[in-house]
Amino acid sequence: MPHDTPAISLVIPAYNEAARIATTVLEAVEYFRDRQLSHEIIVSADGTDGTREAAQQLTAAHPNIRVIGSPQRRGKGNGIRQAVRIATGDLIGFSDADNKTPITEFDKIEPLLRQGTEVVIGSRGLRESRIERAQPLYRRVGSRGFALVMHTVVGLPGIADTQCGFKFFQGRVAHDLFRRQQIDGYMFDVEILFIARQRGYRIEEVPVRWRDDGDSRLNLVMGNLRNMRDVLSIRWRHRQLGHDSDLVSEPVSRSDS
C-alpha cells in the first residue's frame, strides 16, 4: 500500500436496519479492501430495533468495524457527531445504511479529497446525477419546497442538494465542523454546510447515483415542523461564527464545473 494513501473513516448511521446493515457494511469493507484503502467503519446505531446488535456481530471477524450507540434514540445528527468524535481517519465521511448511494460512488469523491478540497458532497441535483429510482411525486414536491425555504432562510447559494447522505471531509475539517454542530435530527446536513461556509471551507458537489428505497422514516407533519424549527435556528445557533478568531481567512465557494 502506498505510504501516502490516506486512511478513511466511514460512518454509517443506522436505525431499523437490522436486516441489511451487514450487507451495507460488508460491501464497504470489500470496496475499501479491493482498492487497498486503509479504513475503519463506525456504525452508529441508537435504539432497540436490533440494528446495533446485528452490526456488533461483524466485529469479531472484522476488527476495523466499530459499533456505537445506546438504547435511547437521539437522532441521526447526534449519531454522526458521536462517531466523528472517535474517528481517526485522514478522511472522514458518512453514508446511509440503506445504501441509497452505493459506496462505489466514492470513486468520484476521492480525487477531490486527495487534491485537498475540504468538503465533498454527493448530489442528486446536478445535471449528471443519476436517479435510478425516484422518490414519490409528493416527496419530490416537498423537497423542492424545502429547498426554497432553506435557501431563503439559511442561504447556501450554489449548493443544489444539501440532503444527500453521502458526504466526506478532510479529517481535521470533520472534527472542526462536528464539534460545532448541534442539531440532532435530519437538518444537521444543512447545519454542517452552513458552518463549513462560515468557516471558509471549500465545498464541492459531485453528481452521484441514487435510488429511493421507499422507506421514509419522516412523519410528514410533526417531522417537517421539527425540521423547519431546526432550519430556522441555524443562523441563531451559529451567530458568532463570523467573529471567531480562528476563522479560515479566505472563504472559497464550490466551483460550478
The pLDDT of residue 109 is above 60: yes
Q: How confident is the model at residue 33 (pLDDT cuts 50, 70, 90)?
A: very high
Q: Residue 218 has which C-alpha cell? A: 419522516
C-alpha cell at 145: 419546497
Q: Are 200 and 247 in contact (CB under 8 A)?
A: yes
Q: Look at residue 93 and tell me if it is in a domain.
A: yes
Domain of residue 145: give its range.
8-243
According to the model, what pLDDT value does residue 216 have? 56
Whether 254 is covered by a domain: the verdict is no
Residue 186 lies in a domain: yes
Total length of the chain: 257
| 206 within domain boundaries | yes
Q: For the chain, what is the domain count? A: 1
Give the model confidence (pLDDT) of 196-251 as tens digits: 999 999 999 999 999 987 655 555 556 667 878 888 889 888 876 654 434 443 33
pLDDT of residue 251: 36
- Any domain includes 257: no
pLDDT at 72: 95
Per-residue pLDDT at 77: 97
Dist CA 85 CA 78 (whole Å): 11
CA–CA gap between residue 80 and residue 46 (Å, rounded): 11
pLDDT digits over 125-157, tens only?
999 999 988 877 767 777 777 778 788 888 899
65-68 and 39-44 strand pairing: parallel
Q: With respect to residue 1, please indicate whether it lies within any of the assigned structural domains.
A: no
pTM: predicted TM-score of the whole model, two decimal places: 0.86
Which among 162, 221, 168 is positioned nearest to 186, based on CA atoms? 162
Question: What is the phi-psi region of residue 72: left when phi exceeds 0, alpha when psi lies from -120 to 50, beta otherwise?
Answer: beta
SS3 assignment for 106-168:
HHHHHHHHHCCCCEEEEECCCCCCEEEECCCHHHHHHHHHHHHHHHHHCCCCCCCCCCCCEEE
Single-letter amino acid, residue 162: T
Q: Give the CATH number of the domain where residue 149 resides.
A: 3.90.550.10
End-to-end CA, the chain: 32
Within a domain: 28: yes
- Residue 255 placed within a domain: no
Nearest to 21 by CA among 76, 87, 65: 65
Does the pLDDT value for residue 107 go beyond 60? Answer: yes
CA angle at 218 for the pair 180 and 222, rounded to the nearest 5°: 85
Q: 153 vs 85, which has greater pLDDT?
A: 85
- 3, pLDDT greater than 50: no
Give the mean pLDDT of 5-10. 93
